Homo-oligomer: A and B are copies of this chain.
Amino acid sequence: MITGLPEPPYVSVIFASLRPLHEGSILEDGYGAAAARMAELVVQQPGFLGVDSARNTEGFGITVSYWADEGSALAWRRNLEHAEVMRMGRERFYEAYTLRVATVHRASEFERP
């Protein structure tokens, strides 16, 4: 799915992460269930505009979530269930990650006619 284009400005949270590989496969560690639950919860957050996510077969993934403003992005960060999953992320889901908060100024889209 490609998230559509709200009118800028709005906030993007860019999360790049590396999942541990175990003998060439991504480890089953409860991540799938946690990710599904977060997908269910996040859409209920005020100010949530959408999310795009892709992970390759080497375990490297990028998730970009979009928010009406910094306050709504921050409120999601403070959601208790999400905070617990973030803790599990540092404990076992991710080898490493980067997190960036950025304000979208311009946006465009293309769709094959």
How many copies of this protein are present in the complex?
2
Cα distance, A16 to B104, chains bound together (Å): 14
Main SS class of interface, A: strand
Q: Residues 65-109 of chain A: 1 if any B CB is under 8 Å from the residue's CB, otherwise 0?
A: 000000000000000000000000010001111111111111111
Closest to A91 in B: B112
CB A74 to nearest CB in B, in angstroms, measures 11
A interface with B by C-beta (< 8 Å): 1-5, 12, 14, 16-18, 52-57, 60-62, 64, 90, 94-112
CB of A31 to closest CB in B, whole Å: 15
Which of B3, B16, B102 meets A52, CB within 8 Å? B16
Q: Are B102 and A98 in contact (CB under 8 A)?
A: no
